[in-house]
Structure 1
Amino acid sequence: MQPQRGRAGRGGRVASATGGLVLLLLATACGGGEDKGTAAESGPTNVSATVAGVVAPAKVEVIADLTGCEVRIRTEADELREGVCRTERGDYLITTFPQEKLKLTWLDAASVYGGKYLVGTRWVVSAKPELLERLRPRLGGKIQQLRGVGPTPGPTAR
């Protein structure tokens, strides 16, 4: 029986995404050697977002690598880890959480300040909105608008 050519079915896409995930996990676990390239750069864009959605909760360093930054860890605590990325595109903060409920608590506290955040499973990226839009295809997640707390405009006198 001849294999079909020209059309990859759902099984082919799943196998491709799974293969990319396995390669990324192996590269991450083994240190990756001297090469600074990432699995996300070598694969199709949709695979990198899928891979990031699975791997990203694990470490700040994995998310930073997917975005092309050498991260500087600024907070190491039981509840969260934070790393700062300074790039030509802009600066951003990557925060990861060991549990989803801790991420939700963090977002609740951050809502006092308002703003937009890129939010995934057990991780949040804080940056200017235009940078979040550029990072989203590599990381996946959703951009969330948080409400700020402050005075609301009152009725005007006529």
Structure 2
Amino acid sequence: MSQRARSPLTARLLLAGGLALLTLTTGCGAGSDESKVSSATKVTAAPSAGVVAPAKVEVIAGLVGCKVKIRTDADELREGVCHGKDGDFLITTFPEERFKLTWLDAASIYGGKYLVGTRWVVSGPEALLKKFRPELGGNIKQL
């Protein structure tokens, strides 16, 4: 097996191990109060692979096999564009969930479907969103 073929599997295993460790360390505190868990620790699991897409444009792009070009790098969001044989799509990430909710509210005037996860959104053709969901998780939302 080539090094290239092992890289996505290795990344997924490391990510799954990190999430398991996070679950163990956050769930073992004496008197822990679930309501105090910040939105930054909540994750959206992929339905079949059990993978979680981190809120980083380059990592999400890598999970779906895209070499992303960053077009917006601001305090409230980062956005990258990917050009693929199946169509073009955007990956937008947010440092806080509230910025994502504001962005979605603004995007609702354009309509369309979006793949939405914790602190990230992928916009593109519906067929691509359905294809990416097993890798990234999230939910397809109609705005």
Match of 2:140 among 127, 130, 143: 143
For 1:144 and 1:96, locate their aligned partners in 2 and report how far apart those are by CA, in whole Å.
Answer: 16
- The within-5 A match list for 1:49-88 is 50-53=50-53, 56-57=54-55, 59-88=56-85
Q: Does 1:121 align with 2:118?
A: yes
Question: TM-score if structure 2 supplies the norm length?
Answer: 0.67
How far does the alpha carbon of each residue in 1:55-74 deviate from its partner, in whole angstroms, 9 at most, with x for none? x21x1000000000000000
Q: Which residue of 2 aligns with 1:21?
A: 15
* Aligned positions, number: 105
User: Percent identity of the aligned residues?
Assistant: 64
Shift of 1:23: 7.1
Runs (5+) with no aligned partner, structure 2: 1-11, 20-46
Task: Evaluate the alpha carbon distance shift between residue 24 and residue 119 of structure 1 in structure 2; reply closer, same or farther with a 3 A threshold.
Answer: same
Higher relative contact order (CA 8 A, sep 6+): 2
Runs (5+) with no aligned partner, structure 1: 1-17, 26-44, 147-158
- The within-5 A match list for 1:91-130 is 91-130=88-127
Task: Evaluate the alpha carbon distance shift between residue 77 and residue 136 of structure 1 in structure 2; reply closer, same or farther with a 3 A threshold.
Answer: same
Shift of 1:52: 2.5
Give the superposed CA RMSD.
Answer: 2.2
Task: Evaluate the alpha carbon distance shift between residue 140 and residue 122 of structure 1 in structure 2; reply closer, same or farther with a 3 A threshold.
Answer: same
Question: TM-score if structure 1 supplies the norm length?
Answer: 0.61
CA contact (8 A) 1:21 1:51 kept: yes
Structure 1 stretches of 4+ with a deviation exceeding 2 A read: 22-25, 50-53
Larger-Rg structure = 1
